[in-house]
């Protein structure tokens, strides 16, 4: 199946920023300030600079290798099939951990608003919903 449109370098850049920032900036800022005081602002700025470096690296990779696959394609073409497989699996594992962390952060925020809700049920429903979207993708949108 041939895909007609790939993501542009700017789209990859913005997706990288989105996936790296996550919910930590919203839920952990107060905790960081409580522990580090005003030096926490410097820590947040340095973290932001590191995010730009990573995002630009992904944008540059998308220009060099315009295929779907991200870091997997880069590692496979640069170092061979096995390192590509390892990078691909680690990227997948990172995605799984990121989704779990984001859902956990969302449930923490929901608990602050309404502490009596069943967090287990809501968390499983969110993960199931995201899994269905991931499996079926844009076919779901066409059904609506």
DSSP assignments along 57-84, one per residue: HHHHHHHH--STTTHHHHHHHHH-HHHH
Give the pLDDT confidence score for residue 119 in this predicted structure: 85
The residue with tokens 């992904």 is 58
Q: What are phi and psi of 23, to 5 degrees?
A: -95, -10
On the question of pLDDT at 129 being above 70, the answer is yes
Give the pLDDT confidence score for residue 82 in this predicted structure: 92
Give the span between the Cα atoms of 106 and 78, in whole angstroms: 38
Cβ neighbour number for residue 109 with a 10 Å cutoff:
12
Nearest to 85 by CA among 74, 96, 94: 74
Give the pLDDT confidence score for residue 22 in this predicted structure: 59
CA angle 72, 77, 83 (to 5 degrees): 55
User: What is the tens place of the pLDDT at every residue in 48-97?
Assistant: 888 888 888 878 877 887 777 778 888 888 888 998 899 889 888 888 88
User: What is the tens place of the pLDDT at every residue in 100-124?
Assistant: 888 887 888 788 888 888 888 988 9
Give the span between the Cα atoms of 65 and 61, in whole angstroms: 6
The pTM of this model reads 0.55
Give the span between the Cα atoms of 107 and 123, in whole angstroms: 7
Domain assignments of the chain as residue spans, ordered by start: 1-67, 69-144
């Amino acid at each position: 199946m041939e895909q007609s449109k790939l993501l542009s370098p700017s789209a990859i850049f913005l997706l990288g920023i989105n996936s790296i920032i996550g919910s930590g900036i919203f839920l952990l800022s107060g905790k960081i300030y409580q522990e580090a005081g005003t030096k926490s602002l410097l820590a947040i700025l340095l973290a932001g600079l590191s995010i730009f470096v990573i995002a630009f690296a992904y944008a540059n990779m998308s220009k060099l290798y315009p295929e779907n696959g991200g870091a997997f394609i880069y590692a496979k073409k640069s170092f061979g099939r096995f390192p590509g497989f390892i990078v691909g699996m680690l990227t997948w594992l990172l995605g799984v951990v990121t989704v779990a962390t984001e859902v956990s952060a969302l449930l923490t925020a929901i608990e602050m608003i309404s502490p009596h809700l069943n967090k287990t049920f809501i968390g499983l429903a969110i993960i199931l919903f995201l899994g269905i979207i991931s499996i079926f993708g844009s076919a779901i949108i066409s059904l609506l």
